[in-house]
Structure 1
């Protein structure tokens, strides 16, 4: 058993194994009679539903735990929460504000801990992204991907590491103040969205104002306005597919037309959250 806190925890071999597991419709019931704790400090439609169904498909029993029920870091330490949940569950999954809470949980229990989202990374989203691209493009080696908008966030960070691990080429386009501050070697960062999407097979974006950033909304909207993914920008790419981790704010980071176009893969991407979670949970049990 192992943990998945970051994409680096998987590495190229682990990602390949998870994707192979994710593509199998029936992995048996390795979680039969076992519980999986789902701790949510932040709400999410896709993460909760995809992970719960992945647990059910593996024969297990998911238990959704709201932030008020554990008081992670306030009523109880991250270590004590992990020790308590390990008494009942075989896997602990958590969607947290502070990535360090996940690290502390792994140090307190031998049960695997899976990151459902933190301020640092979103590894299961990146696995779903790569799975989607693999289904639509077959060969990931040398595949050109563009990410446009706010690049200094957990989604872009996990995507960057995942792309490098599978041999894809990622270019991030953002204003200088929203560049990925710790971008791995091999990831390009540019100012011009048109340059980023040139010859790209996939164009990806995310919301400009995430949970907890409302006080920055005006500043972000002004700086990121020129980075909207619209029909004109998509036309500059190589007949590209559009990706978005959702939820999307139509008319802000992306137009309604792009979201609803025949080349939008957002619903396949959303479904793949469940398949990727199933593969990841099966992998940590190996």
Structure 2
């Protein structure tokens, strides 16, 4: 039976195993021939640096290869349905990673494909990013349970997935977002139940100081997501109090780590002294996308 990774919830039973596998891969455990002859189809409606490169390099290192399709190179860009695309690619490839504008489209692709589908980012979640994030936190803090992660900024797809990942791993989560830009209410409700089960807390506030206080991890993302460029001036003004700067991180633990899924905009969501300072682990986090993608592919692609 095929397995899709559309949401972090899809890893609720084996996220720890996936993280352990990613750590072993990073440490040098060799899996090179395991996916020999396997093909990963990449459908990208949005531009990408880390996601596309980590998937392409990852499948190659595991012995397989990738085929990249963007909206200008595939028939989806000329009106072919997602349903038809799913069935056709299922006859050629062994897995599809889909980076989409719409979560509904990712779900439609998964419902009509007979091969595994990986959500490589949509407007609701970014599950692969969170596997890399948790791997990075564990590397630097040697544990996950009982830590406090403060996400400050736009309650976007990354924030939604972080809420779930933290709840599953017993990390105390606090999000500070402006009114109107809070995380998804349904995800909050589901994650709250998981957090209670795993002995952690979930807090949503509009006050960045409340979120940052005693945090072990400070996390932010770009204020303006792809496709929202026309909102840039308005959002930059609204989000200015949510900038990660020296004044805000002074409320965190002295040994806090700073995380950002990148790309970053220095001087907007974070100051250069923070992202380029000694507490920043953003490039470890970026590297770990490779190890996370490899672990996910090994977990769901038949071999």
Query: 1:215, CA displacement in angstroms?
Result: 1.8
Specify which of 242, 248, 266 is matched with residue 282 of structure 2. 266
SS of 1:63's equivalent in the other structure is strand
Equivalence for 1:110: 114
Deviation at 1:71, TM superposition (A): 4.1
The secondary structure found in structure 2 opposite 1:24 is helix
Q: CA deviation at 1:162?
A: 0.5
Equivalenced residue count is 284
User: In 1, Cα distance between the equivalents of 2:171 and 2:250?
Assistant: 21
The question of 1:252 aligning with 2:273 is answered no
Q: Identify the match of residue 177 of structure 1 among 155, 176, 180.
A: 180
Structure 2 vs 1, CA of residues 5 and 73 (structure 1 numbering), >3 Å: closer, same or farther?
A: farther
Give the Cα–Cα distance (whole angstroms) in 1 for the partners of residues 223 and 290 of structure 2.
25
- Whole-Å Cα distance in 1 between the matches of residues 169 and 158 of structure 2? 17
Within the candidate set 278, 282, 285, 2:294 is matched to: 278
1:62 Cα deviation after fit: 1.0
Which residue number in structure 1 is paired with residue 198 of structure 2?
Answer: none
With normalisation by structure 2, the TM-score equals: 0.91
Q: Name 2:160's counterpart in structure 1.
A: 157
- For structure 1, the 5+ residue unaligned runs are none
Map of 1:42-121 to 2, 5 A cutoff?
A: 42-72=46-76, 74-121=78-125
Structure-2 separation of matches of 1:18 and 1:76: 35
Structure number with greater CO (CA < 8 Å, separation at least 6) is 1
Which digits, 9 at most, give the CA deviation of each residue in 1:36-69, with x for residues without a partner? 1011110101111111111111110111111112
| Structure 2 alignment gaps of length 5 or more | 193-200
CA distance in 2, matches of 1:193, 1:140: 22
Deviates more, 1:127-136 or 1:67-76: 67-76
Matched, 1:218 2:233: yes
Instruction: Select 1:196's aligned residue among 211, 225, 229.
Output: 211
1:10 corresponding residue in structure 2? 11
Deviation at 1:17? 1.5
Assess if the C-alpha contact under 8 Å between 1:40 and 1:94 holds in 2: yes
Which of 241-250 and 215-224 deviates more?
215-224
Distance 1:29 1:79 in 2: 32
Comparing 40-49 with 21-30, greater Cα deviation is found at 21-30
Q: Displacement of 1:74 after TM fit? A: 4.9
Question: What is the CA-CA distance between 1:276 and the residue it aligns to?
Answer: 0.4
Q: 1:228 aligns with which of 243, 249, 265?
A: 243
> Is 1:34 the equivalent of 2:38?
yes
Superposed CA RMSD in Å reads 1.3
Verify the 8 A CA contact 2:87 2:114 in the aligned structure 1.
no
Give the 4+ runs in structure 1 shifted more than 3 A: none
CA drift of 1:28 comes to 4.0
Question: TM-score scaled by structure 1?
Answer: 0.96
Cα offset, 1:280, TM superposition: 0.5
String of CA shifts for 1:238-269, please: whole Å, max 9, x gaps: 02100000000010000011011011000000
User: Distance between the aligned counterparts of 1:43 and 1:212, measured in 2?
Assistant: 11
Report the 3-state secondary structure (helix = DSSP H, G, I; strand = E; otherwise coil) of the residue aligned with 2:211: helix
